[in-house]
Amino acid sequence: MPRPPASPSSSWSSASTCWATGYATSSTRARGAPGGRVTELLSIHDLRVNYHSERGIVRALDGVSLAIGTGEVVGLVGESGCGKSTLARAILGVLPAPASEVAAGAITFGGENLLALDSVEIARRIRGRRITFIPQDPYGSLNPLFTIGQQMADLMHWKSPLAAAAERSAWPAVLSRYPAARRAKDRAAIVEMLEAVQIPNPEQALKKLPHELSGGQRQRIVIAMALLPQPELIIADEPTTALDVTIQAQILRLLHREVKRRQVSVLFTTHDLGTAWEICDRVVVMYAGQEVEAAPTPAFFANPRHPYTFKLLESLPRADGVAEDIPGEIPNLIAPPSGCRFHPRCDFATRECAATRPPASGAAHLVRCYHPLEKAA
């Protein structure tokens, strides 16, 4: 098989150790980031998430491990149904109950295992404060009955130390002191954030309801709301899918600039490899609930090593109009294939591939494959 043109092995000891720490410790710097080693912020270790359905147990995530460094933008790439959104929901602590269960694994954020916290603790200390979210549909995430100013002021209120104290003490008098003490300062911070995301005339925008703004403006508002609490990590779930191509490019440049300026880490889920190239420092490829390849973005595009990754790149539209579909179907996760889950669709599959899941190999460029592709001469 020919290798794709260039474009803009250490031994495996533990299924989680290599994938969860390979980049945060052995990798040095993210594309566009300052020099020096990356400090690990988020580590996911052998995560297994199941959904219970009438037809059986769906193994949505099966032994996923990865890490994100401070100030690093990591792209999570794969086809629909590969587990990207399930992974994002697991980190945020919003998996649907009672249909879902975390069967095994750990999600360590800032040295703390999020899976050991109850839902109230995650909502009070983590979600919306230290970890924020940019949704795919900005209109659906904004309350249609309240102005942008009201919603952003509410966000500022609930991320404040006073609000946290009120939640702990259940003392309404604490909340009653908030408006007089903080209103002017918070409004100035909100206006400054809207200016940073290039909302024209922020004061007027604050008075508008969501339906009075364009799709691009709503997405900028949602990005501003994600940045406003000064989070350590943002989870962006295909945030430009609903926008046209021109607006997509503007939003991607804006998001990349602001997170790099503020040294915020991002987990960016997408099925669009072009988007991953534009914004991500590293790319992790998922297939059927498992990670199969992870590499710094330039190496990922110049030298894809997993056959599935290669097929993904081959399926991209080209200037000559030629694109190759990936043969076969995405496997049923109620009864997934044994061994490597891609082996029924792979040109290089052998008996070994069907027998056991491949271990990960490589240092900075990790791949789970018994027959990884070699770089073209």
User: SS3 for 326-372, per residue?
Assistant: CCCCCCCCCCCCCCCCCHHHCCCCCHHHHHCCCCEECCCCEEECCCC
Residue 46 has pLDDT above 90, yes or no: yes
CATH of domain 17-130+232-368: 3.40.50.300
Judge whether 295 and 66 are in contact, CB under 8 Å.
no
Rounded Cα distance between 30 and 43, Å, is 17
Average pLDDT over every residue of 228-234: 94
| Out of 60-64, 276-280, 318-322, 334-338, least confident range | 318-322
Supply 269's token pair.
């889920």
What count of other Cβ atoms lies within 10 Å of the Cβ of residue 322? 8
pLDDT category, 179, cuts 50, 70, 90?
low
Positive or negative, the CA dihedral 367, 307, 42, 48 is negative
Q: So what's the pLDDT on residue 339? A: 93
Q: So what's the pLDDT on residue 374? A: 83
Rounded Cα distance between 280 and 296, Å, is 9
Q: So what's the pLDDT on residue 227? A: 93
Rounded Cα distance between 368 and 358, Å, is 5
Instruction: Provide the residue ranges of all domains of the chain, joining segments of one domain with +.
Output: 17-130+232-368, 143-228
Residue 141 has pLDDT above 70, yes or no: yes
Tokens 């503007």 sit on residue: 250
Higher local confidence (pLDDT), 203 or 163: 203
Rounded Cα distance between 276 and 74, Å, is 9
Q: Is 297 helix (H, G, I), strand (E, B) or coil?
A: helix
pLDDT category, 205, cuts 50, 70, 90?
very high
Residue 68 has pLDDT above 80, yes or no: yes
Rounded Cα distance between 72 and 282, Å, is 8
Judge whether 275 and 84 are in contact, CB under 8 Å.
no
Higher local confidence (pLDDT), 163 or 142: 142
pLDDT category, 161, cuts 50, 70, 90?
low
Rounded Cα distance between 120 and 372, Å, is 44
pLDDT in tens, 69-106: 999 999 999 988 899 999 999 999 999 988 999 999 99
Q: Which residues of 11-46 are buried (b: 16+ CB within 10 A; e: fewer)?
A: ebeebbebbbbbbbeebebbeebeeeebebbbbbbb
Residue 167 has pLDDT above 80, yes or no: no
Q: So what's the pLDDT on residue 239? A: 85
pLDDT in tens, 233-277: 999 998 887 777 888 888 889 999 999 999 999 999 998 888 899
Amino acid making up residue 6? A
Cα of 366 vs its chain's centroid, Å: 18
Higher local confidence (pLDDT), 124 or 298: 298
Q: So what's the pLDDT on residue 159? A: 64
The per-type count for the chain, helices as H runs and strands as E runs, is 15, 12
Share of the chain above pLDDT 70, in %: 81
Residue 156 has pLDDT above 60, yes or no: yes
Mean pLDDT of the chain: 83
